[in-house]
Structure 1
């Protein structure tokens, strides 16, 4: 038998959520990348902040001969060095992080506000560091590739022939190719079109395309201009006369090699300030440690669907 009056209702989701604790992530920032280049370089501590690259001036002056059986005198020789070798000074990247003490006091559960602000600031500085290692007009890889080590693509998209030509320039223990992710995609399409899909290799727990056994490393810091990008081939290591990174060891407040965080105090407005600094540079020890392919077309419609090109 029906009864009068309102019927009881179940507790709704919106009301229930007022008593529930939400599980919160730390702040996510899309610009953070793996920064493979930084991991693949060999890093050398520079305690005085200056690194001097000494080179031989003229290798043709070295005169080497086999023993003379008639016991006549052997030629004397010596190897001369540059009189004014290039010196590399560590470059500094600074920023100041400001956090109101009220924010850090009241809103640091479950995640510490200062720790998260510092984490994101450090990530941004490290992203800037990789960009400078590639693009700095002073010490960047692109600017410091000698003219004799630069080639232009034979066709529109990057081809296996182009990468083979880079290998002829850096044939002594080449370490890795470096290009924009769009460059890797364009190279992969060209290899597939030719019926020679490149194999992959596992590094740092990730899969990378390879060519002739050399991994092709992506970095979004390699410029793409007008639908074209570059490929670099790099040999690394001081003992191999390759490319090396430089950093300052033993910094006060050191968080990682060459990077420090220093507390600067609290002002009268209750703002706490932190100085975040990164010191680094890069050196190409010999000319044949690096080669650059310029003008590689990364347009995915190149040669495949001309009707889409305007």
Structure 2
């Protein structure tokens, strides 16, 4: 037999792939989340970028009487308002997307380069928006919870007793709990240990744990520091005097609520620029619309002894 290598009898995989078209995905970005908080809020349009929250000065001064009296003896009263109500200014989350025209001209099949650059940038801006709704020092949820609406855990780990205590703070039509996924897992372990596994419901096509019928919504914008985090309970909606989101309507180049994309032109270096802007804020209409469970431990659970590490 000859030592020479035998000629192949069929085309090989490597050569055949040169004639095949690979199926390509759009770019994936792991930092994209469902952003449930944004979906669960009611959003109010703010025409001039300013939202004035008027409040009653002291409701206890409004006097009424239900006894049988002569008209001359009826109580006289009025409802007084705060003279300097708080005003919320919409804040902007902005960036400029630059794309070289050569890139968009040559490499936009099957996926448009400009569309993908804008899509991913918009996703990043919306993630930042949700982070600001939770953590902004001026209008964020954590900064605007009243002192009397803040409680600490009884044992460190989030227990059914802790969430019941939150409900006593937001008992008027509570909407949902907001918690980091690790806090939800820690709460689930406590419920299982006590033999009271929480029920689940479906919202937006996804399952959510509940406690007392109130959904527990995950949000990774609630920071976990040194194994500790916070859990919030919100009432939402203007009619319920709850928490509401604020946005600027009727923007030029509006893509979604409060978000716009505007073409800024092409410079002498053939760079096309797009301005992406999102205007938003958040308001807690009454103090009892928001409560915070603080210092929640979400460390590793040890079945025995009964502690968290």
Name the TM-score, length of structure 1 as normaliser: 0.96
Corresponding residue for 1:236? 236
Contact 2:177 2:216 in 1 (8 A): yes
Corresponding residue for 2:279? 279
Corresponding residue for 1:171? 171
Structure 1 residues 6 and 183, CA, compared in 2 at 3 Å: closer, same or farther? closer
- Which consecutive residues of structure 2, in runs of 5 or more, have no partner in the other structure? none
Corresponding residue for 1:39? 39
Q: Distance in 1 between matches of 2:5 and 2:166?
A: 81
Structure 1 residues 243 and 4, CA, compared in 2 at 3 Å: closer, same or farther? closer
Whether 2:240 is the aligned partner of 1:264: answer no
Q: After the TM superposition, which residues 127-166 of structure 1 pair with which residues of structure 2 at under 5 Å, given as runs?
A: 127-166=127-166
Contact 1:157 1:302 in 2 (8 A): no
What SS does structure 2 have at the residue aligned with 1:210? strand
Contact 2:251 2:258 in 1 (8 A): yes
What SS does structure 2 have at the residue aligned with 1:38? helix
Corresponding residue for 1:51? 51
Q: After the TM superposition, which residues 40-119 of structure 1 pair with which residues of structure 2 at under 5 Å, given as runs?
A: 40-119=40-119
Whether 2:6 is the aligned partner of 1:7: answer yes
What SS does structure 2 have at the residue aligned with 1:105? helix
Structure 1 residues 126 and 173, CA, compared in 2 at 3 Å: closer, same or farther? same
Contact 1:247 1:281 in 2 (8 A): yes
Structure 1 residues 5 and 22, CA, compared in 2 at 3 Å: closer, same or farther? same
What SS does structure 1 have at the residue aligned with 2:73? coil
Bigger shift: residues 260-269 or 67-76: 67-76
Q: Distance in 2 between matches of 1:67 and 1:242?
A: 33
CA displacement at 1:105 relative to structure 2: 0.4
How many residues are aligned here? 308
- Which consecutive residues of structure 1, in runs of 5 or more, have no partner in the other structure? none
Corresponding residue for 1:212? 212
Q: Provide Cα deviations, 1:112-139, integer angstroms capped at 9, x if missing partner.
A: 0000000000000000000000000010
Q: Give the alignment's Cα RMSD to 1 decimal.
A: 1.7
Q: Distance in 1 between matches of 2:144 and 2:256?
A: 26
CA displacement at 1:14 relative to structure 2: 1.0
Q: Provide Cα deviations, 1:185-241, integer angstroms capped at 9, x if missing partner.
A: 000001001111001000011000000000000010011111011100000000000
Contact 1:68 1:74 in 2 (8 A): no
Q: Distance in 1 between matches of 2:171 and 2:11?
A: 72
What SS does structure 2 have at the residue aligned with 1:224? coil
Bigger shift: residues 94-103 or 296-305: 296-305
Corresponding residue for 1:121? 121
Corresponding residue for 1:16? 16
Q: Distance in 2 between matches of 1:178 and 1:70?
A: 52
What SS does structure 1 have at the residue aligned with 2:25? coil
Contact 1:156 1:302 in 2 (8 A): no
CA displacement at 1:60 relative to structure 2: 1.2
Corresponding residue for 1:221? 221
CA displacement at 1:300 relative to structure 2: 2.1
Structure 1 residues 54 and 16, CA, compared in 2 at 3 Å: closer, same or farther? same
Name the TM-score, length of structure 2 as normaliser: 0.96
